[in-house]
Chains A and B, each alone.
Chain A
C-alpha cells in the first residue's frame, strides 16, 4: 500500500486552470483585436468571464471545509501475499 497527500491532486487541476487562463486570455485578445467595435464582442467577453467566475466560485464553495492534510491510500493488489518456498 502506498499513500500520498490529497494536495497532490491540486497539481493536475492547477495545470488545467493555467491552460484555461492562457487560452481565455488569447481568446479575449482575438475578440478585442478583430471585433473590438461591436457590442457582440463585449457581450461575448462578459459572458465568458461570468461563466468562468461561476465555475470557480462553485468549486471554491464545494471545497470549503476540506481537510487537505489527509492522505490518499492506494492498495497494491496481491501485495499481502507472501511468496511460498
Chain B
C-alpha cells in the first residue's frame, strides 16, 4: 500500500479505503513486445550462423556483435522496467476524505491529482468490449463540481463494485459533514 504522507497532507482521521491500478491484462502488450524484441537478436544470430558464419566467430567481429547485442538487451530491459514502473506507480487511491490519481509518466514526471469526496456529483462505470466484459474491468468516471470536471479511473478491475463503493463513501462523507455542521450550529 502506498504511503499517503508522501503524497498529501492528510487529515488526522483519514485512512485509505482502497487502492487500485489498471488491470494487469493491460500490461500484457508490454510483455509481448519484450518477448518479441528479445527474440529478434536470437533470430538474427540463427540467420547469420548459416548465411555468414565468420561474422559471429571472427576475432574482431565477434566482440563487436557481442557488445552490440549486450547494449541492445540493456536498453530493452531498461525500457521494459520503465514501463513496468509506470504501471506499478500509476495508482488510484480512495480515502475516507478524497480520491487521488497518482500518475507516473516516464522516469522524471509524476502527477498527483486529488478530489474531495464532497465535490463528487456523479459516478459512472463503463465496461466496453468482449475482453473487458470477460475479465470484468473498465473505466470509472467521477463527475465533479471542481475545476477538473471529470476524474477517470482507466481499465480498473470490477468498475461496478468501485462505483458502488465510491457512492457509499460520498454518502457517508456527506452525512459526516452535515453532522459536523449540525454540531456547530447547536
Contacts and interface: CB of A to CB of B under 8 A. Distances in A.
Interface of A: 6, 9-10, 12-13, 16-17, 20, 23-24, 26-27, 30-31, 33-38, 40-41, 44, 48, 51-52, 55-56, 58-59, 62-63, 66-67, 70, 72
Those 6 A-B pairs whose CB atoms lie nearest each other, nearest first: A59-B70, A62-B66, A16-B71, A13-B67, A20-B74, A66-B63
B139 interface: no
B107 A27 contact: yes
B70 A13 contact: yes
Contacts of B59: 66-67, 70
A51 B107 contact: no
A16 B75 contact: yes
Contacts of B102: 34
Contact of B60 (A12, A13, A51, A70): A70
A10 B6 contact: no
Contacts of B71: 12-13, 16
Nearest to A48: B81
A82 B71 CA distance: 41
